[in-house]
Chains A and B, each alone.
Chain A
Amino acid sequence: MDIFRTTVRHVNGHALVAVAGELDIATRPELCSCVERVLGTRPDTLVLDLGGVTFIDARGLGALLLLRRHAAELDTRLLLSHVSPAVRSVLVMTGLSDAFTVSAEAASVSASVSASVSASVSAAPADASAGGFAPPGLPPAAGGHRLDL
């Protein structure tokens, strides 16, 4: 069993919430309260990095939908990054593969947030460009695109 955890970073009006562990009926409240707190800071963009999510079920997916709606009400763009095969297949099963936006921009926001954090922590900006959240596979195209399934 993986410990569920969320890690929040902010930079330049963007927020990154990295989610790790199993997202189910038990851990969903923790995700929701974390993301609602971040939405309260009114970021322009909120990137949910799902790279560490090892399990997701319908309740977890329901939480993502709820958060997307709350974000829209606050004029925050909610984007997903690092959508794993596990998450992807549940999105497909529920017909929700078009409901979320995964964008290259999300990757670059993730990277810049991660870069700024590692720069401030390690004072080694030369290494910061290799931000740990940048996925290798995403094209450098600007703007969002639908989840390619």
Chain B
Amino acid sequence: MTEHTEAPTVGMGGIRDVVSVRLPAVSAYLSVLRTATAGLAARLDFTLDEIEDLRIAVDEACAMLLTQAVPGTDLTAEFELTGQEMQVRVEVSTVGTALPKRDEFAWMVLTALADDVDAVTDSPDRMAIVLRKRRGAARPA
């Protein structure tokens, strides 16, 4: 796993931080990514409940992508931290793309926990899910 912060200052006062994490696209590494997610959310002063929501949301997004990922490739996660919001883009290499099934439990959980979610399938050999969560937002019903 490699991890680097492209802007050294925490996103206070409108400063934008981007953290990229790259790890093998295998399920055993998901727990590592969940831990990274929690650590980054804590930097934005998310509440414990919000941190847990993000941890699960990122996990669900990745679990959906892993079923499509080309073996031996990497999963990348890009976390963008602004003052009030975290945006997470997780992406894998695929052979062809299939939209996530909206009736899956994973999609239900993901959309329940994140403020918004987009599946990005405009490239034939990449698939990404982008989710955003704002601090202090009520959980969507």
Contacts and interface: CB of A to CB of B under 8 A. Distances in A.
Interface string A1-24: 100000000000000000000101
Interface string A23-62: 0111000000000000000000000000000010111011
B109 A55 contact: no
A90 interface: yes
A58 B105 contact: yes
Given A25-B63, A90-B56, A93-B112, A59 B106 contact: yes
Question: Mostly helix, strand, loop or mixed at chain B's interface?
Answer: helix
A26 to B, nearest CB: 4
Interface string B30-47: 111011000000000000
What are the 4 A-B residue pairs with the smallest beta carbon separation, nearest first? Answer: A58-B105, A26-B27, A58-B106, A25-B27
19 contacts: A1-B31, A1-B32, A1-B35, A24-B27, A25-B63, A26-B27, A26-B30, A55-B34, A55-B55, A57-B56, A57-B60, A57-B106, A58-B63, A58-B104, A58-B105, A90-B56, A93-B108, A93-B109, A93-B112
